[in-house]
Amino acid sequence: MEPSQIIALIGPNGCGKSTMLKTLSGQIKPRKGSVDICGQDLSSLKPKELSKCIAFLPQMHEVVHGVSVYELVAMGRAPYHRSGWILSMKDKEKIGWALSYMNLEEYVSRPVDQLSGGEQQRVWIAMALAQDTPIILLDEPVTYMDLRFQWELLSTIRDLRDTHGKTIVSVFHDINHAIEVADHIYLFKDGRVYAQGTSEEVVT
């Protein structure tokens, strides 16, 4: 996978897309071979080192009752601190940028569990952005959003690549979303890569 690209993983349910993301994030060890991330073997990286390289946003989230939008986004800075840490000026800058980038400034004091599904998803993405990693892994990021917010998020994903140089690997349920944003698409079937290439190559 080339840097500063959007990589889409598509295919039917249960075909291995989410398993691939978990392997790339270090949650699952590969059965064969190795995964090189940021120029290093993933298995050689400590959790905090890996968290400074990869932000992983799974499909399902659990929100602790009463946690505010600001508090949740601030958790993205955890890899840069030990336990009992206090936010530094750099932390606050990264958090503020992530909140602004995802248009969440007006929600900073709101409990996350009182937001709509689409709004919550924007908060989780802001947390991943506050983590400030070169690679972002997303598992069906537009699932809980209405149509307008889906296309806004796809535009955001493109901007993260074009303006901020992020490498994004994302599972998409809708092939049209993958075609819209991806530089390279992997089509999975029965736990294997069935086809790969540009959107034109995979679709045809």
Domains of the chain are 1-53+134-204 (3.40.50.300), 63-132 (no CATH)
40-41 and 36-37 strand pairing: antiparallel
What local confidence, expressed as pLDDT, does residue 179 receive?
93
Q: What is the pLDDT along the chain (204 residues), one digit of tens a residue?
A: 788 999 999 998 888 888 899 999 988 888 888 888 878 888 888 888 999 999 999 887 887 789 999 999 999 999 998 766 789 999 999 999 999 999 999 999 999 999 988 899 999 999 999 999 999 999 999 877 888 888 899 999 999 999 999 999 999 988 999 999 999 999 998 888 899 999 888 877
Q: How far apart are CA 136 and CA 194, in angstroms?
A: 24
What local confidence, expressed as pLDDT, does residue 52 receive?
92
Taking the complete model, does pTM exceed 0.85, yes or no? Answer: yes
What local confidence, expressed as pLDDT, does residue 134 receive?
96
DSSP state of 138: E
DSSP secondary structure string, 94-121?
HHHHHHHHTT-GGGTTSBGGGS-HHHHH
What local confidence, expressed as pLDDT, does residue 38 receive?
77
How long is the chain? 204
Residue among 125, 110, 17 at smallest CA distance from 61: 125
Question: What residues pair up with 196 in beta bridges, in sequence order?
Answer: 186
